[in-house]
Amino acid sequence: MKKVGVVMGSPSDLPVVEKAITTLKEYGVPFEVHVYSAHRTPKEASDFVTTAADNGFGVIIAAAGMA
């Protein structure tokens, strides 16, 4: 089964994605949670998305709490 990547721009965005994380756990879907900011860590964000498929991710959920 492919993994789900849950990406947020700041740790303070966690309340926005908590329900998704809970649902993934309930269904037994493998996932990883990452904090990558397009403004503060653009290289890390770019590296993650460009290598996601090769690293076993089938989908990425991206969220920002204040956006």
Structure-block tokens of residue 1: 């089964």
**Does the pLDDT at position 67 exceed 70?**
no
Give dist(CA 30, CA 48) in Å, integer. Answer: 17
Structure-block tokens of residue 2: 């492919």
**Does the pLDDT at position 65 exceed 80?**
no
Q: What is the pTM of this model?
A: 0.88
Averaged over 36-64, what is the pLDDT?
94
Give backbone dihedrals phi and psi of 58, rounded to 5 degrees, phi first: -105, -20
Predicted local confidence at residue 66, as pLDDT:
66
pLDDT digits (tens, 9 = 90+) for 1-46: 899 999 999 999 998 899 999 999 999 999 999 999 888 899 999 9
